[in-house]
Structure 1
Amino acid sequence: MLGATGTIGRATSAALVRRGYEVVCLVRPPAGSSGARVPTTLSRVMEGASVRFVDVSDPVSLDRDGFSGSRFDAVISCMASRTGAPKDAWAIDHRAQLNVLEAAQRAGVDHFVLLSAICVQKPLLAFQQAKLAFEAALLASGLRYSIVRPTAFFKSLSGQIERVRNGRPFLIFGDGTLTSCKPISDGDLGGYLVDCLEDARLWNCISPIGGPGEAITPRQQGENLFELLGRQPRFQSVPIALLDGIIGGLATLGLIAPSLREKAELARIGRYYATESMLVLDPQTGRYDADATPSTGTETLIDFYRSVVAGGVLPERGDHAVF
């Protein structure tokens, strides 16, 4: 397992353990750690799996500390760049993934399961291009592969729960119906990634996947959240033109101050998600198709909202925070 410390990686590791697999999680050493001992927090989070510390940017470390002469049947990689900024994306979503693929080939691994993203269908951003470049390398590798392109995650759509609970309006772009998605839970996605090891129909193919139920727009997300809180819906619209102005300003300033170039790319990422649906894209019409987007699992976004409103813990979003 790669990317096992993220929420989806943890769910996938737990699903593997439940189904009886022997799981080894390759993770980066904690800052200042010699790697000699597994921190208690990691042991608790990845209960039932063993942990090996590796530097995914170093092929020698992957061979020596990761695969380490052991026999592995498969690799599942949930590894992804934290921010999506160009330097980070090409270092992790492409180069580090290539390092893992090459180490897996040297170790005789038979099957590589990759967690990608549905947004690579329309690759306007550096992280999407990096993911696609690695997908191409995996397809050409000769290994059996399963490439999974999920829609929006619950974690990504949880950022306004506290905002609304504190009496503030729900932010939308435009009228809140510009985009839609079929959100998928960590648990349902983790189970699907494990299915890729067992279901031959998911071998040697690229699988877009969403959660159960109909596609949902941001406005519907807000309406459902207000209903669960017993409040009248209140929305605040953010014009797309405002995002364009921010991007243009940062891009111009980035010519003078390189540190602002990354901020411009992050703004472009925000605009992308504000204007593009996370659904299957019909290449003939150029339109997103909810009916063509497969569904899996049992937990809906509204189920998740309901559990959080009832006292459940919000996921840590880190660099994925937008609002």
Structure 2
Amino acid sequence: MTTTLVTGATGYLGRHLVAELHRRGHTVRAVVRNRSRAEQPGKRESPSLAGLVDEWAIGQLGDESFVADAVSGVSSVVSALGVTTQKADPWDIDYRANLAVLEAAQRNRVDSFCFVNVIGGDRCTAELTKAKTAFALALSGSSISSLIINPPGYFSDMMQVFDMAKRGRVYLFDPERRINPIHGADLAAACVDRLESGEQGNWDIGGPDVFTWRQLAECAFTALEKKPRLTRIPPAALTPIQAIASLVTPRRADTLRFVTWGMLNDSVGEPVGTHHLAEFFAEQANTLSTDRW
């Protein structure tokens, strides 16, 4: 089986990608900054990479010689690389770091490059999604067979709603907008399915259950066995909220633009997978009960 390079391997999705590729018999080369951290369990039940990686590429993607070595000899690249909670500039990570890997992949005549983007990223005004969109365009125009997967959001992202429900009230901008978030394991399987098919293209992929944001919040309250309490924030209030946030921390203001855009627009992809958000929330609630004891 050919060698697949995974970037962003220690993130929530990246860990599931490594696990899925390993399960299917791929030789996996994982880019990480710290092997010890990578071999610890990840957040939200994403797996440890211990025993799943055949070749470790330990270093920084800002190092040109490291990138060249990491890409050398691989037949495909799967990138889950992107800014999440870091303070880094998304243009440095989501665009420039991915672009450095793509350029090295083209020089090494890599067969295919799979990039995990986001649904509707080309319409969102956040710098995060602008950077992702810019890279997706570069990938589509490259000489490599490109696969671009656009999820609406992960189960782990929905923990923001779960945490609000835990505190007793969920705040929503447009409760009737729809979303079908996806578990990392299901998205990883969808990515590898398309990688192995030899196809190239652009796919919107979501989980098996479509919710309105109201229903999603009620799902969290049900798991916590709490009475639903929802407050709708008028979209008109968003502009002054973002303006205030940008004065304090521009990075957080950009994250706010990204999150609220998702709440104000339908984000529904092709339903796939076997993991259900209600079960995920129930597991999180059960963990809370266990921790109390």
Q: By the TM > 0.5 criterion, same fold?
A: yes
* Structure 1 residues 58-86: Cα deviation after superposition (integer angstroms, max 9, x where no partner): 2222113x23x4x211110000123598x
User: Where do 1:33-44 residues align within 5 Å?
Assistant: 38-39=35-36, 41-44=37-40
Counterparts in 2 of 1:306 and 1:204: CA distance versus 1, 3 Å: same
Separation in structure 2 between the aligned mates of residue 79 and residue 152 of structure 1, nearest angstrom: 15
Q: Where does residue 318 of structure 1 map in the other structure? A: none
Deviation at 1:228, TM superposition (A): 2.9
Q: 1:208 and 2:204 equivalent?
A: yes
TM-score when scaled to structure 2?
Answer: 0.85
Q: Where does residue 232 of structure 1 map in the other structure? A: 227
Q: 1:55 and 2:55 equivalent?
A: no
Aligned-residue identity in percent? 28
Separation in structure 2 between the aligned mates of residue 84 and residue 240 of structure 1, nearest angstrom: 27
Counterparts in 2 of 1:220 and 1:115: CA distance versus 1, 3 Å: same
User: Where do 1:282-321 residues align within 5 Å?
Assistant: 293-311=269-287
Q: Where does residue 153 of structure 1 map in the other structure? A: 154
Q: Where does residue 76 of structure 2 map in the other structure? A: 74
- The alignment partner of 2:257 has SS state of helix
Q: 1:13 and 2:11 equivalent?
A: no
Deviation at 1:266, TM superposition (A): 3.4
Answer whether contact 2:128 2:258 (CA < 8 A) is retained.
no
Amino acid aligned to 1:23: V
Q: Where does residue 23 of structure 1 map in the other structure? A: 28
Counterparts in 2 of 1:84 and 1:137: CA distance versus 1, 3 Å: farther
Separation in structure 2 between the aligned mates of residue 152 and residue 211 of structure 1, nearest angstrom: 9
Q: Where does residue 100 of structure 2 map in the other structure? A: 99
TM-score when scaled to structure 1?
Answer: 0.78
Counterparts in 2 of 1:162 and 1:141: CA distance versus 1, 3 Å: closer
Separation in structure 1 between the aligned mates of residue 255 and residue 114 of structure 2, nearest angstrom: 28
Q: 1:267 and 2:269 equivalent?
A: no
Q: Where does residue 287 of structure 1 map in the other structure? A: none
- The alignment partner of 1:52 has SS state of strand
The alignment of Structure 1 onto Structure 2 pairs a total of residues equal to 275
Separation in structure 1 between the aligned mates of residue 11 and residue 102 of structure 2, nearest angstrom: 20
Q: Which range moves more in the overlay, 260-269 or 136-145?
A: 260-269
Deviation at 1:107, TM superposition (A): 2.3
Provide the alpha-carbon RMSD of the alignment.
Answer: 2.3
Unmatched runs of 5 consecutive residues or more in structure 2: 1-5, 41-47
Deviation at 1:51, TM superposition (A): 2.0
Q: 1:46 aligns with which of 49, 53, 56?
A: 49
Answer whether contact 1:84 1:127 (CA < 8 A) is retained.
no
Deviation at 1:162, TM superposition (A): 4.1
